[in-house]
Chain A
Amino acid sequence: MDSNLNFIFGHLPYWLFIILMLSGLFIVVSRGNLIKKIVGLNIFQTSVFMFYISIGKMKGGTAPILLDKSANNAAVIYSNPLPHVLILTAIVVGIATTALGLALIIKIREEYDTVEEDDIQKMDQNDLKKYNKKNVMET
């Protein structure tokens, strides 16, 4: 029992990563509202950021800053800075994706006057019936 608890609490960041990741993915798949989809996508991406940062953490490690150049720093325990740097890049990519997604939603709302996926699909199907008869694409 004790070892089980240790396993659960010892890997707390990973459990949180899994919970956040799955809830984010679930929101993306299950919600019909486009904005909510983007929010879900953000949660999904954020979970990955958390995962990366937790793999860089060392127990009792400090920030990886060289304080004394002359001294021997081999004994200093520090967190691995590389995952942080990687995730900085991933955050930028995530922001760009969110911005582009929101811009697309604005355009979609201008054209369809709704941000619900079901309504958009219905309108598209109506369009298809109308234009298929005329056999012309919208010009």
Chain B
Amino acid sequence: MASEIKQGTLELVNHLPILQVITPMLIAPILVVLNNKTLSWLLSFVGALACLFISILLIQAVSDGSILTYYLGGWVPPIGIEYRIDAVSAILLFLISIISAIVLIFSYSSLHAEIPEEKHTLFYSCFLLCLTGLLGVVATADIFNVFVFLEISSLSTYVLVAQGAFLDRRALSASFNYLIMGTIGATFFVIGIGYIYMATGSLNMMDIAERVNQFGDNRTIQAGFAFIVVGMGLKLAMVPLHVWLPNAYTFAPTVVTCFLAATATKVALYVLIRFVFSVFNYEDIFVNELFFLLLMPLAVIAMIAASVIAIFKQNLKKLLAYSSLAQIGYMLLGLSLMSQKGLASSLVHMVNHGFTKAALFMSLGAFMLNTKNVYIKSLSGLGKSMPFTSAAFVIGGLSLIGVPGTAGFISKWLLLEAALETGYWLVAILIIASSLFAVIYVWKIIEVLYFSESSESYNEVSVLTLMPIWILALFCIFLGINTSLTVDVAIMATEILFK
């Protein structure tokens, strides 16, 4: 590894890992103090842009396979907390930052329709705290710090989801259920950390990895790993533990749904990947059996069952939420194949699905600005009156199905290759079957949009609303044609993980 660690110097690149996390955290309280809604939008947008800029610098710094570390307060690990950026975390940091920046452009127009004005300032500071938490989870190499950041992001997410109550009071019970499930998940995660600490006496990921190897078969560590898998399973909505997700996505404000669908579940999956590869030994029989016997069947069930359920949903936000569950199934499947290609497909799909789902939810939000609801019937004939939004929705839908030329195709193709490479023919067939179900539910919406008469005519939404939607839609196409940003970085990331 070509890691150059220059601690204690004032060079900017050495401080990027911490700047990435604290930039939104420092802006959040400033918004509350200023208490001005336009200014708070502007400041949070600037903050998100700064995060994006930093994450691009970080990708450049780690793209040659090196690892960037930062010791908090100058305390050397394993005693101090360490932030550690490699190619895997750099991809995720980039995804989170860019999605937050794009979503914030959209929020300028959509928030007025969904949240009372006096709450905008607090909404933005909550949003920034959520961003801080997600970025922190990815950046840190200290397992207890992962828990703390996870809870920072989760707590602010519960608040953000509950803001949907202005339009629909069901948002409150959705948020409450999410709180209960999320906290159970986080507590399981803490128990897992406790077991690991009990056995190894360390909290630093690299340090634990060394010590775990010496132990061999240890029941305490295995129990800790099982607890962590269940805890993260709750957070990433692995199928039997997914009950919170459809309602939370449906009743949250559109901005929040876009942001969560594109980032939150992926970050939980990232934590799982980190623990499997950087903390535990991925060659361990226990880990392999857990993934083969438990996670792979669950992932396949998610792919098929969630897609079938999505076909019958009338509420389009709920439809897309169920389709998210199916897509999480793909990512989990890629991970549970336990091969380099499988993991690469999982990482690429995280990014591609992030852009795709954000584009879909956002164009749905733009429809909702006009129609005031997201039931399928009310979208009839919008293809004529809102041509640009509908076109972006179609691009997102194609990417969701995995049509060649879109982002979704790349990751599904990688996943298929990985499944065939490891010899799981049945799984490969089920992946295609699940994609066919996706064709059905996406076509159902396209049919209503373009081939049915509209009862009312609406105007196209403003340019400021269209811009973020089209940025995301163009990303869906761009990532389907130019794969150097995603596939190459992901393959390099898997090489780091499979060292």
Answer yes or no: A22 CB below 8 A from chain B CBs.
Answer: no
Q: A137-B168, A137-B373 are in contact. Are A96 and B155 (CB under 8 A)?
A: yes
Q: Is A101 a contact partner of B176 (Cβ separation < 8 A)? A: yes
Residues in A whose Cβ lies below 8 Å from that of B144: 86, 89
Q: A86-B144, A137-B372 are in contact. Are A124 and B180 (CB under 8 A)?
A: no
Answer yes or no: B175 CB below 8 A from chain A CBs.
Answer: yes
Shortest A111–chain B CB gap in Å is 4
Q: Is A25 a contact partner of B373 (Cβ separation < 8 A)? A: no
The interface bits of chain A over 27-70 (1 if a CB of B lies within 8 angstroms of the residue's CB, else 0) are 01000001001000100110010011001000000000000000
Q: Is B176 a contact partner of A108 (Cβ separation < 8 A)? A: yes
Query: In the bound complex, what is the Cα–Cα distance between A107 and B183 (angstroms)?
Result: 19
Q: What is the chain A residue whose CB lies nearest that of B148? A: A89
Query: In the bound complex, what is the Cα–Cα distance between A79 and B172 (angstroms)?
Result: 44
Query: In the bound complex, what is the Cα–Cα distance between A101 and B170 (angstroms)?
Result: 15
Q: What is the chain A residue whose CB lies nearest that of B177? A: A117
Shortest B112–chain A CB gap in Å is 14
Residues in B whose Cβ lies below 8 Å from that of A13: none
Residues in B whose Cβ lies below 8 Å from that of A138: 167-169
Number of A residues, CB within 8 Å of B? 38
Answer yes or no: A100 CB below 8 A from chain B CBs.
Answer: yes
Q: From residue 95 to 122 of chain A, which have CB atoms closer than 8 A to chain B?
A: 96-97, 100-101, 104-105, 107-108, 111-112, 117, 120
Answer yes or no: B198 CB below 8 A from chain A CBs.
Answer: yes
Answer yes or no: B159 CB below 8 A from chain A CBs.
Answer: yes
Number of B residues, CB within 8 Å of A? 36
Q: Per a CB cutoff under 8 Å, which of B151, B155, B173, B372 touches A136?
A: B372
Query: In the bound complex, what is the Cα–Cα distance between A41 and B177 (angstroms)?
Result: 12
Answer yes or no: A135 CB below 8 A from chain B CBs.
Answer: yes
Q: Is A48 a contact partner of B372 (Cβ separation < 8 A)? A: no
Q: What is the chain B residue whose CB lies nearest that of A89? A: B148
Q: Which of B3-11, B184-192, B404-412 contacts A (4 or more CB under 8 A)?
A: B184-192
Query: In the bound complex, what is the Cα–Cα distance between A97 and B314 (angstroms)?
Result: 33
Shortest A12–chain B CB gap in Å is 16
Q: Per a CB cutoff under 8 Å, which of A82, A104, A124, A136 touches B170?
A: A124
Shortest B229–chain A CB gap in Å is 17
Answer yes or no: B375 CB below 8 A from chain A CBs.
Answer: yes
Residues in A whose Cβ lies below 8 Å from that of B148: 89, 93
Shortest A76–chain B CB gap in Å is 18
Q: A97-B179, A137-B167, A138-B167 are in contact. Are A107 and B172 (CB under 8 A)?
A: yes
Answer yes or no: B374 CB below 8 A from chain A CBs.
Answer: yes
Q: Is B179 a contact partner of A101 (Cβ separation < 8 A)? A: yes
Residues in A whose Cβ lies below 8 Å from that of B151: 93, 96-97
Query: In the bound complex, what is the Cα–Cα distance between A113 and B279 (angstroms)?
Result: 48
Residues in B whose Cβ lies below 8 Å from that of A93: 147-148, 151, 155, 186
Shortest A33–chain B CB gap in Å is 12
Most interface-central of A25, A37, A96, A100 (chain B CB within 10 A): A100
Residues in B whose Cβ lies below 8 Å from that of A96: 151, 155
Answer yes or no: B158 CB below 8 A from chain A CBs.
Answer: yes
Query: In the bound complex, what is the Cα–Cα distance between A96 and B155 (angstroms)?
Result: 8
Q: From residue 164 to 218 of chain B, which have CB atoms closer than 8 A to chain A?
A: 165, 167-170, 172-173, 175-176, 179-180, 183-184, 186-187, 190-191, 194, 197-198, 203
30 CB < 8 A contacts A-B: A28-B180, A48-B191, A48-B194, A51-B191, A52-B190, A82-B203, A86-B197, A93-B151, A97-B179, A100-B179, A101-B179, A101-B180, A104-B158, A104-B175, A104-B176, A104-B179, A107-B165, A108-B173, A111-B165, A111-B172, A112-B169, A124-B173, A135-B377, A136-B373, A136-B375, A137-B167, A137-B168, A137-B372, A137-B374, A139-B167
Seed contacts A48-B187, A89-B144; 4 additional CB < 8 Å A-B pairs: A45-B183, A97-B183, A112-B169, A124-B173
Across the A-B interface, give the 8 residue pairs with the lowest CB-CB distance, nearest first. Answer: A137-B373, A111-B169, A93-B151, A108-B172, A104-B176, A55-B198, A97-B183, A138-B168
**Residues of A that sit less than 8 Å from B by CB:** 21, 25, 28, 34, 37, 41, 44-45, 48, 51-52, 55, 82-83, 86, 89-90, 93, 96-97, 100-101, 104-105, 107-108, 111-112, 117, 120, 124, 127, 132, 135-139
